[in-house]
Structure formats: structure tokens, C-alpha cells
């Protein structure tokens, strides 16, 4: 008996085998979930690199794999009509998507361009609303929606820049969605992960220093593993967490509770 036996869901945001969405998917699969997946549309249909990377991981068990740029309503509509045909109803949706143009991401935040701001907010925040709005129609028996966030949305993390502003908005959106969809039995939560090496995080400045900081600052004195994040992601999408909604769950070795460095680092 798996925790996700009989559950049907959609996963947005697998780019490759380092993606957090893939870490969560592995647990969902092992617990018995049926899933459909999206990949970023390929620019050159002759060389479908994005599609191939996702298919390599999920082809054995995916119910469908479809292209989706969350900036396009027609793409989103196509994904949800595919889900309706395959599953009828949905039990969960994983939103593991973020983007900011590299120049704007690398800061300073004060110099973020108008276009870069719009694009970052649209892809990283509006997409959660657009996905939840379509998902709720297929979640007639309730469901669970999960998004991925980072501490840079709650506190200033130098180097995280405009993405921190996006994560603050994303976390707020998560709360508003939890309020509006709760009466329909739909839970909406955010998993705040400690830093993990992925395609996206490689674009964040000072990332290696950040990894090192967690080994000295966090209560557990180490970084999280993809499996630790993956397992909690699966649990938040399952009925094991049926009383949790509107929550930011930190899977970061406790880093977020610290207000000052550990005593052994104080100068004597
Ligand atoms: O340390 C980390 N890696 C952390 C990541 C710590 C805490 C949170 N997160 C968050 C990220 O901000 C993001 O919301 O987790 C989420 C997933 O990020 P990831 O797994 O680190 O990154 P990645 O494997 O790159 O997946 C993000 C994917 C995109 O990948 P690329 O690198 O190709 O941009 O988001 C998708 C895409 O697959 N994506 C889009 N999907 C549809 N339409 C779009 C778009 N317009 N843009 C990006």
C-alpha cells in the first residue's frame, strides 16, 4: 500500500535529473501516484532537447508528457484538458517553476528592468494562480497544490535579489489561494527548501558560499539532500498532511530559525 495509491496529479518544472520536481516525483512514483508532466517547449522541433530530458526520466511511468510555457494561456489550457482526458479528476499539482532574466537576477535589485520584473513575476508567481485556477475545476473531491519557495522571500538573502521579491509574492499568493480554495477541500502549501545544486540555482550569485554557510550556520550543520526535500514534497501532496494548508514548510536543516551565528563562531 502506497501513500499515493489511486492519486492522480500534474507535475510542472522538471528540467533534468537535478530538478527539485524530479526529487519529489521519485517519491510520488514510489508511493503509487499516476502523473502527467510538462516540459518547456523546444525552440527547434528537430532537436527536442527539453522534451528528451524529461522523457528520459519519466517515460516508464508517465501518463502523458506535454509542452507548456506558463506564459501562454493556451499552453496551460492544453495541459489541463490533457489531464481531464487522462484522469477525469485531479488530486494534486506540483508547481516547481521559477525564472528571472540573468542580468536582472544578478542584481542589484534596485536596477531591475521593468521587462525583467514583469517576466520574473509572471513565470514565478502568476503561474501559480493560473495553474490553481485551472486545477480547482478538476479537484471536485478536494486536492493538494504545492509550490517551491526559498527563505529569500521572507528575509533578505544577498545575491537572491529579484527572485526574493518574487518568492515573497509567491508565498503571499499561496496564502490567498489557501483561503479561497480551502472551502472546496483544496490545500495549498509552499515547501521552502535549503539550497540544492540545480540548473536554476546555478544562476544565483554566491550560490557556493550559500551552500557553505548552511554547513556552519544551520542547527544540523549541513545542507539538505534532494531526497529530504523530495520526501516532504510528496507528504505535502498526500493525505498524510490533510490538516495542513497555507503553510510554509522549511526543509533546510533548521537554517531559518537562526538569528545569529552559532556560539563557536563568535569572536572571543
Ligand atoms: O536551491 C534551489 N535549487 C532551490 C530552488 C531552493 C529553494 C527553492 N527553489 C525553487 C526554485 O525557485 C523553483 O521555484 O524550486 C523550484 C524549482 O527549481 P529547481 O529545481 O532548482 O530548478 P530547475 O531544475 O531549473 O527547474 C525550474 C524549471 C525550469 O528549468 P529551466 O532551468 O529550464 O529554466 O522551471 C521551469 C523549467 O522547467 N520553467 C518553466 N516552465 C514553464 N514555463 C518556465 C516557463 N516559462 N520557465 C521556467
- Per-residue pLDDT tens over the stretch 146-165: 999 999 999 999 999 999 99
Taking residue 203's Cβ as centre, other Cβ atoms within 10 Å add up to: 15
**Average of per-residue pLDDT across 131-136:** 98
Tell me, yes or no, if 255 is annotated catalytic. no
Q: pTM for the whole thing?
A: 0.97
> Which listed residue (150, 176, 214, 255) is catalytic?
150
**Average of per-residue pLDDT across 250-261:** 96
Q: What is the CA(89)–ligand 1 centre distance, in A?
A: 26
Q: Whose CA is nearest to atom 17 of ligand 1?
A: 96
Q: What is the pLDDT of residue 1?
A: 87
Domain boundaries, the chain: 8-266
Q: What is the CA(13)–ligand 1 centre distance, in A?
A: 6
Q: What is the CA(218)–ligand 1 centre distance, in A?
A: 24
Q: What is the pLDDT of residue 207?
A: 83
The b/e string for 119-139 (b: 16+ C-beta within 10 A; e otherwise) is bbbebbbbbbebbbebbbebb
**Average of per-residue pLDDT across 99-109:** 96
Q: Please tell me the number of Cα atoms within 13 Å of 97 on its side-chain side.
A: 27
Q: Whose CA is nearest to atom 35 of ligand 1?
A: 97
- Name all residues whose Cβ lies below 6 A of ligand 1: 13, 15, 18-21, 40, 68-71, 96-99, 123, 148-150, 193, 195-196, 198-201
Could you tell me what percent of the chain has a pLDDT over 70? 99
Q: What is the CA(199)–ligand 1 centre distance, in A?
A: 7
Q: What is the pLDDT of residue 268?
A: 59
146: left (phi over 0), alpha (psi -120 to 50) or beta: beta
Residue 207 CA, closest ligand 1 atom number? 1
- The candidate with the shortest Cα–Cα distance to 137, out of 76, 196, 192, is 76
Domain 8-266 annotated CATH 3.40.50.720: yes
pLDDT above 90 (res 46): no
Torsion of CA 139, 89, 147, 32, to 10 degrees: 130
| Ligand 1 pocket mutation pick from 11, 12, 13 by most atoms within 8 angstroms of CB | 13
- The candidate with the shortest Cα–Cα distance to 147, out of 175, 181, 120, is 175
Cα angle vertex 70, ends 65, 72, to 5°?
Answer: 105
pLDDT above 80 (res 189): yes
Q: What is the CA(226)–ligand 1 centre distance, in A?
A: 14
Strand ranges, E, within the chain? 8-12, 34-39, 64-67, 92-95, 143-149, 186-193, 248-251
* Widest pairwise Cα distance in the chain: 66
pLDDT above 90 (res 199): no
- The candidate with the shortest Cα–Cα distance to 64, out of 35, 27, 22, is 35
Tell me, yes or no, if 150 is annotated catalytic. yes
> Which listed residue (99, 160, 214, 255) is catalytic?
160
Q: What is the pLDDT of residue 158?
A: 92
Amino acid at each position: 500500500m502506497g501513500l499515493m495509491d489511486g492519486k492522480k496529479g500534474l507535475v510542472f518544472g522538471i528540467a533534468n535529473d537535478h530538478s527539485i520536481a524530479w526529487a519529489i516525483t521519485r517519491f510520488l512514483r514510489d508511493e503509487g501516484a499516476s502523473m502527467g508532466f510538462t516540459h518547456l517547449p523546444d525552440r527547434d522541433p528537430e532537436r527536442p532537447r527539453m522534451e528528451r530530458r524529461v522523457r528520459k526520466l519519466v517515460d516508464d511511468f508517465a501518463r502523458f508528457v506535454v509542452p507548456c510555457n506558463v506564459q501562454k494561456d493556451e499552453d496551460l489550457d492544453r495541459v489541463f484538458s490533457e489531464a481531464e482526458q487522462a484522469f477525469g479528476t485531479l488530486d494534486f499539482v506540483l508547481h516547481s517553476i521559477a525564472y528571472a532574466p540573468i542580468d536582472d537576477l544578478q542584481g542589484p535589485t534596485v536596477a531591475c528592468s521593468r521587462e525583467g520584473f514583469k517576466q520574473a513575476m509572471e513565470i514565478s508567481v502568476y503561474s501559480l494562480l493560473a495553474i490553481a485556477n485551472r486545477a480547482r475545476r478538476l479537484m471536485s473531491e478536494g486536492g493538494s497544490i504545492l509550490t517551491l519557495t526559498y527563505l529569500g522571500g521572507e528575509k533578505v538573502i544577498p545575491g537572491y535579489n529579484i527572485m526574493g521579491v518574487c518568492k515573497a509574492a509567491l508565498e503571499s499568493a499561496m496564502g490567498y489561494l489557501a483561503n479561497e480554495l480551502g472551502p472546496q477541500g483544496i490545500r495549498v502549501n509552499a515547501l521552502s527548501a535549503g539550497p540544492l545544486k540545480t540548473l536554476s540555482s546555478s544562476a544565483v550569485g554566491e550560490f557556493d558560499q550559500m551552500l557553505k554557510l548552511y554547513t556552519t550556520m544551520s542547527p544540523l550543520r549541513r545542507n539538505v539532500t534532494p531526497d529530504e526535500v523530495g520526501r516532504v514534497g510528496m507528504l505535502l501532496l498526500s493525505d498524510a498532511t490533510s490538516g495542513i494548508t497555507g503553510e510554509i514548510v522549511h526543509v533546510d536543516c533548521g537554517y531559518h530559525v537562526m538569528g545569529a551565528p552559532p556560539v563557536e563562531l563568535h569572536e572571543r
